[in-house]
């Protein structure tokens, strides 16, 4: 009896026994910095954890090998898996794996081609990591860090989004107007969608994998791809605003996201320090609102429940009212800005749900899809 009790305690400590359903749910926002280039004034270096349900109160800073560098490098991307309890982030040269239960770095990898904004399959098995604007994507075993495949697109590898069902990985490069689509069962590129009017910048995908909403060079707005037919459907420009001069990224809109219910598309406007909201229940999407933010935005994502919008400028915006409900600040009171953040839910100290750094759609049934 005593041995069984000690075994059970050990299993609980190791996370082998799931948390009890009556444990309170804790919703946390993990923000990896420096997430605006290598600018340390926007929250310093490390992984900053905020309590969503306590007004986005700063909870703690996780130091990592990347943050301990004398000159911390740009953070390029972040993703997480509740299935395995791990978080992954990249600099320009390395991929890191962190255990969400105790904040330990489990391994790091430094592929010769560099690293950029990656994505993980929903089952937590594979991380697709673009090289740093080069010819290939590397596929890593998410448990061991072993490289299991390499995909060549010659497109200037940059951004990566996985489909909700985990079947497809969407690969966007800085030097191509085509979005490449890989089969995650074979780790091979099987088709492409496009061309768009210019090279691809940030993009997002709906829950049924039928549409992609894509920022492209020189456009204040976004374009819409039919992922089934592989063709461009719409070019949607922001009205009433000039493109202006941008501080970073070299394009007017570097960030687009779907609300989880897919009823709205939000796109960033750097020069005018705005977020533009489009009604996605009509075709093509129709401009509705424009919201000011405190600096030039370069990214947008949403909470899992769809209530909150997270621009890279560190404001927390209530989607329904369009009101700012919180401002992210660190333990020193500094404004926290980052293009690399992900929501993670815990119950009994164990991860039970994870969001996505991209504002992806989460509607998976045809009847409810707008």
Q: What digits encode the pLDDT tens for the residues 65-120?
A: 999 999 999 999 999 999 999 999 999 999 999 999 999 999 999 999 999 999 99
Q: What is the pTM of this model?
A: 0.93
Task: Using DSSP bridges, classify how beta strands 147-152 and 157-162 pair: parallel, antiparallel or unpaired.
Answer: unpaired
pLDDT > 50? residue 7: no
Return the residue matching tokens 């088709």.
191
- Characterise 366 by phi-psi region: left (phi > 0), alpha (psi -120 to 50), beta (else): alpha
Q: Is the peptide bond before 303 cis (omega within 30 degrees of 0)?
A: no
Domain-located, residue 327: no
Return the residue matching tokens 């909201």.
277
Domain-located, residue 282: yes
Domain-located, residue 101: yes
Which one has a higher pLDDT value, 8 or 281?
281
Domain-located, residue 90: yes
Q: Is the peptide bond before 284 cis (omega within 30 degrees of 0)?
A: yes
Domain-located, residue 149: yes
Domain-located, residue 244: yes
**Six-digit token pair at 216?**
């492209």
Lowest mean per-residue pLDDT among 14-23, 61-70, 248-257, 263-272: 14-23
Q: What per-residue confidence (pLDDT) applies to 16?
A: 41
pLDDT > 50? residue 242: yes
Q: Which domain holds residue 227?
A: 70-312+350-363
CA-wise closest residue to 36 among 305, 215, 294, 225: 294
pLDDT > 60? residue 370: no
Contact 45, 91 (CB under 8 A): no
CATH number at residue 231: 2.130.10.10
Domain count, the chain: 1
Q: What digits encode the pLDDT tens for the residues 107-161?
A: 999 999 999 999 999 999 999 999 999 999 999 999 999 999 999 999 999 999 9
Q: Which is it for the CA torsion 17, 20, 23, 29, positive or negative? A: positive
Please compute the mean of the pLDDT values over residues 183-207 and round it to a whole number: 98
Q: What digits encode the pLDDT tens for the residues 305-334?
A: 999 999 999 999 999 999 999 999 999 999
CA dist 134 and 153 (Å) reads 9
Domain-located, residue 294: yes
Domain-located, residue 23: no
Q: What is the three-class DSSP state of 281?
A: coil
Contact 309, 322 (CB under 8 A): no
The vertex-316 CA angle with 296 and 310, nearest 5°, equals 65
Query: Mean pLDDT over all residues of the chain?
Result: 94
pLDDT > 90? residue 20: no
Residue 366's pLDDT band (cuts 50, 70, 90): confident
Return the residue matching tokens 């972040």.
78
């Amino acid at each position: 009896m005593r041995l069984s009790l000690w075994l059970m305690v050990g299993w609980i400590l190791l996370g082998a026994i799931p948390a009890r359903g009556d444990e309170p749910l804790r919703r946390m926002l993990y923000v990896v910095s420096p997430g605006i280039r290598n600018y340390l004034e926007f929250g310093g270096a490390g992984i900053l954890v905020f309590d969503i349900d306590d007004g986005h109160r700063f909870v703690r800073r996780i130091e990592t090998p990347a943050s301990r560098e004398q000159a911390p490098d740009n953070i390029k991307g972040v993703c997480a898996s509740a299935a395995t309890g791990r978080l992954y982030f990249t600099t320009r040269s390395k991929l890191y794996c962190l255990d969400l239960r105790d904040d330990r770095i489990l391994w790091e990898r430094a592929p010769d081609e560099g690293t950029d904004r990656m994505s993980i399959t929903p089952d937590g098995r594979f991380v697709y990591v673009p090289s740093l604007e080069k010819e290939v994507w590397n596929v890593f075993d998410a448990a061991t860090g072993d490289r299991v495949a390499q995909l060549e697109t010659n497109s200037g590898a940059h951004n990566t989004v996985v489909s909700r069902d985990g079947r497809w990985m969407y690969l966007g490069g800085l030097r191509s107007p085509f979005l490449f689509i890989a089969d995650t069962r074979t780790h091979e590129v099987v088709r492409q969608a496009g061309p768009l009017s210019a090279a691809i910048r940030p993009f997002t995908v709906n829950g049924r994998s039928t549409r992609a909403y894509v920022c492209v060079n020189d456009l204040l707005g976004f374009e819409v791809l039919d992922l089934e037919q592989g063709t461009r459907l719409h070019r949607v420009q922001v009205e009433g605003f000039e493109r202006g001069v941008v501080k970073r990224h070299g394009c007017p809109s570097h960030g687009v996201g779907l609300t989880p219910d897919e009823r709205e598309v939000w796109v960033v406007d750097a020069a005018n320090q705005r977020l533009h909201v489009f009604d996605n229940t009509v075709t093509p999407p129709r401009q509705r609102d424009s919201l000011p933010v405190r600096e030039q935005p370069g990214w947008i994502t949403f909470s899992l429940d769809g209530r909150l919008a997270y621009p890279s400028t560190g404001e927390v915006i209530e989607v329904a009212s369009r009101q700012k409900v919180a401002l992210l600040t660190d333990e020193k009171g500094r404004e926290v800005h980052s293009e690399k953040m992900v929501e993670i839910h815990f119950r009994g100290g164990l991860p039970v749900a994870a969001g996505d750094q991209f504002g992806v759609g989460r509607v998976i049934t045809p009847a409810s899809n707008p």
